[in-house]
Structure 1
Amino acid sequence: MSDNSLGTAEQLRDPNFTPPLHKAIPLGIQHVLAMFVSNVTPAIIISGAAGFGFGSDAGAQGFPDMTYLIQMSMLFAGIATLFQTIGMGPVGARLPIVQGTSFAFIPIMIPLVAGKGVEAMPALFGGVLVGGLFHAIIGTFIGKIRFALPPLVTGLIVTMIGLALVKVGIQYAAGGVPAINKPEYGSLLNWSVALVVVLVTLGLKFFARGMMAVSAVVIGIIVGYFYSMIFGLVTFDGIATSWSRAAPIAMPVPFKYGLEFGFAAIVGFCLMAFVSAVETVGDVSGITRGGAGREATDAEITGATYADGVGSAVAGIFGGFPNTSFSQNVGLIAMTGVMSRHVVTIGAIFLIICGLVPKVGALIRTIPIEVLGGGVIVMFGMVVAAGISMLSDVNWNRRNMVIFAIALSVGLGLQLEPKAVQYLPDTLRILMTSGLLPAAVIAIVLNLVLPEELSNESTEEVSGGMSGHGSGKLSG
Structure 2
Amino acid sequence: MQGTDNGLGSPAELKDPNYFPPLAKAIPLGIQHVLAMFVSNVTPAIIIAGAAGFGYGSNSPDFPQMIYMIQMSMLFAGVATLFQTIGFGPVGARLPIVQGTSFAFIPIMIPIVAGKGVEAMAPLMGGVLIGGIFHACLAPFVGKIRFALPPLVTGLVVTMIGLALVKVGIQYAAGGVPAIGTPEYGSLLNWTVALSVIVVTLALKFFARGMLSVSAVLVGLIAGYALAAALGMVNFGNVGRAASFALPNPFHFGFEFSIAAIVGFCLMAIISAIETVGDVSGITKGGAGREATDKEITGATYADGLGTAIAGIFGALPNTSFSQNVGLIAMTGVMSRHVVTIGAIFLIIAGFVPKVGALISTVPIEVLGGGVIVMFGMVVAAGVAMLSDVDWTRRNMVIFAVSLSIGLGLQLEPGALQHLPSTAKVLLSSGLLPSAFLAIVLNLLLPEELSAQSTEELSGGMGSKKHPAE
SS at match of 2:367: helix
Partner of 1:206: 206
What is the CA–CA distance in structure 2 between the aligned matches of 1:197 and 1:463, rounded to whole Å? 45
Residue 422 in structure 1 maps to residue 424 in structure 2: no
What is the CA–CA distance in structure 2 between the aligned matches of 1:176 and 1:283, rounded to whole Å? 33
Partner of 1:344: 340
8 Å CA contact 2:3, 2:11 repeated in 1 = no
| 1:451-470 correspondence to structure 2 within 5 Å | 451-454=447-450, 456=452, 459-460=453-454, 465-466=459-460
Flag the 1:203–1:3 CA change in 2: closer, same or farther, 3 A: farther
Partner of 2:42: 40
| 1:111-122 correspondence to structure 2 within 5 Å | 111-122=111-122
Residue 255 in structure 1 maps to residue 251 in structure 2: yes
8 Å CA contact 1:139, 1:306 repeated in 2 = yes
Flag the 1:90–1:54 CA change in 2: closer, same or farther, 3 A: same
8 Å CA contact 2:287, 2:335 repeated in 1 = yes
Flag the 1:246–1:463 CA change in 2: closer, same or farther, 3 A: farther
What is the CA–CA distance in structure 2 between the aligned matches of 1:234 and 1:468, rounded to whole Å? 51
What is the CA–CA distance in structure 1 between the aligned matches of 2:243 and 2:206, rounded to whole Å? 41
Partner of 1:296: 292
8 Å CA contact 1:179, 1:185 repeated in 2 = yes
Task: State the Cα deviation string for residues 342-387 of structure 1 (Å, max 9, x = none).
Answer: 0000000000011110000000000000000010011000100110
8 Å CA contact 1:134, 1:309 repeated in 2 = yes
What is the CA–CA distance in structure 1 between the aligned matches of 2:463 and 2:221, rounded to whole Å? 49
- Cα displacement (A) at 1:428: 0.3
Q: 1:27 aligned to 26, 29, 32, which one?
A: 29
Quick check: 138-147 or 226-235, which moved more?
Answer: 226-235
8 Å CA contact 1:395, 1:461 repeated in 2 = no
Partner of 1:127: 127
Partner of 1:378: 374
Q: Give the letter for the 1:46 counterpart.
A: I
- Cα displacement (A) at 1:141: 0.1
8 Å CA contact 1:308, 1:324 repeated in 2 = yes
- Cα displacement (A) at 1:177: 0.6
Give the aligned CA root-mean-square deviation in angstroms: 1.6
Flag the 1:471–1:338 CA change in 2: closer, same or farther, 3 A: farther
| 1:308-323 correspondence to structure 2 within 5 Å | 308-323=304-319
Q: Give the letter for the 1:268 counterpart.
A: G
What is the CA–CA distance in structure 2 between the aligned matches of 1:264 and 1:60, rounded to whole Å? 28
Task: State the Cα deviation string for residues 211-241 of structure 1 (Å, max 9, x = none).
Answer: 22222111111110110011111134xxx2x
Q: 2:357 aligned to 335, 357, 361, which one?
A: 361
What is the CA–CA distance in structure 2 between the aligned matches of 1:399 and 1:465, rounded to whole Å? 12
Q: Give the letter for the 1:287 counterpart.
A: I
Q: Give the letter for the 1:39 counterpart.
A: N
- Cα displacement (A) at 1:245: 3.8
Q: Give the letter for the 1:33 counterpart.
A: L
| 1:31-430 correspondence to structure 2 within 5 Å | 31-55=33-57, 59-236=59-236, 240=237, 242-430=238-426
8 Å CA contact 2:3, 2:10 repeated in 1 = no
What is the CA–CA distance in structure 2 between the aligned matches of 1:469 and 1:184, rounded to whole Å? 44
Q: Give the letter for the 2:414 counterpart.
A: P
Q: Give structure 1 stretches of 5+ with no counterpart.
A: none
Q: Give structure 2 stretches of 5+ with no counterpart.
A: none
TM-score (norm 1): 0.95
- Cα displacement (A) at 1:243: 3.3
Stretches (4+) displaced over 6 A: none
8 Å CA contact 1:130, 1:270 repeated in 2 = yes
Q: Give the letter for the 2:231 counterpart.
A: F
- Cα displacement (A) at 1:470: 5.7
SS at match of 1:104: coil
What is the CA–CA distance in structure 2 between the aligned matches of 1:25 and 1:12, rounded to whole Å? 15
SS at match of 1:453: helix
- Cα displacement (A) at 1:268: 0.3
Equivalent pairs, count: 465
Q: Give the letter for the 1:80 counterpart.
A: A
Task: State the Cα deviation string for residues 446-471 of structure 1 (Å, max 9, x = none).
Answer: 00000112384xx3355982566966
8 Å CA contact 2:395, 2:451 repeated in 1 = no
User: Once the two structures are aligned, what percentage of the paired residues are identical?
Assistant: 74
8 Å CA contact 2:394, 2:458 repeated in 1 = no
What is the CA–CA distance in structure 1 between the aligned matches of 2:244 and 2:41, rounded to whole Å? 22
Partner of 1:439: 435
